Amino acid sequence: MSARILIVEDEPDMARVLQYNLRQAGFTTAIAGDAATAIAEAAATTPDLVLLDWMLPDRPGTDVCRHLRQTPETATVPVIMVSARGEEIDRVVGFELGVDDYVTKPFSVRELLLRIQAILGRRQGPKGAPDTDIGPLRLDLAGYRVFIDGEEISLTDLETQLLSVLASERDRVVTREDLVRQVWGSDKGVTTAAVDSHVKRLRTKLGAAGSVLRTVRGVGYTLTATPRPRPR
């Protein structure tokens, strides 16, 4: 069954171009021209991915993203923000809200399709990958699921991918630049500040288990269950 993509775009010509190219690539699509319609459409039929414009006629796309992330049925649905706002602060705001990727207008449709395929490809997880236990965390990489003390937690695909990359380098420091390359697959348009935003959200979701995700100041992050050395 083909993945269903919700296109949230108030410019009819742009929406039709996206719909045509996505259908040519084998996806099923739905279009919403404003925030209210997007929220209703996502509630009626949970999409596999949302292409979300920032500037909508009734409410900003950031409100839609916030609603999706706060709603259990759509909390883990990947969101790509598509916006004419290309400043770094705009990207950081988007990533702090939980968008998985950020594409600025004008953009290459081919590049957008590659980003969509990369995000959806993560959801399959590596076949035959063993479970990984790190302190109270258990990563089911084949099923793309994360547990804390046996209880499954709700993470976005990108957050799960961040944990997966860090787990593959367990007890070693992974630089922010390496995380950009391994998680996003490209460094185009993705800053190290975006990595910090996602790690901050991820650590919050991990709660008390967030202590296994450590910051190495000025370098990057490491995932380890090794106790911190006590200060002398």
Assigned CATH topology for domain 4-122: Rossmann fold (3.40.50)
pTM: 0.73
Cβ-contact 3, 27 below 8 angstroms:
yes
The H or E element that residue 160 is part of is helix 157-168
User: pLDDT tens digit string along 81-100?
Assistant: 998 887 878 888 888 888 88
Residues 6+ apart with CB under 8 A from 14: none
User: Is 88:97 a contact under the CB 8 Å cutoff?
Assistant: no
CA distance linking residue 81 with residue 65, whole number of Å: 9
Q: Is the pLDDT of residue 122 over 80?
A: no
Residue boundaries of the structural domains of the chain: 4-122, 132-223
**What are the pLDDT digits (tens) for 9-37?**
999 999 999 999 999 999 999 999 999 99
Q: What are phi and psi of 194, to 5 degrees?
A: -65, -40
Residue 68: pLDDT band (50, 70, 90) is very high
Specify whether domain 132-223 bears CATH 1.10.10.10: yes
pLDDT at 38 over 90: yes
Judged against a pLDDT cut of 70, whether residue 129 lies above it is answered with no
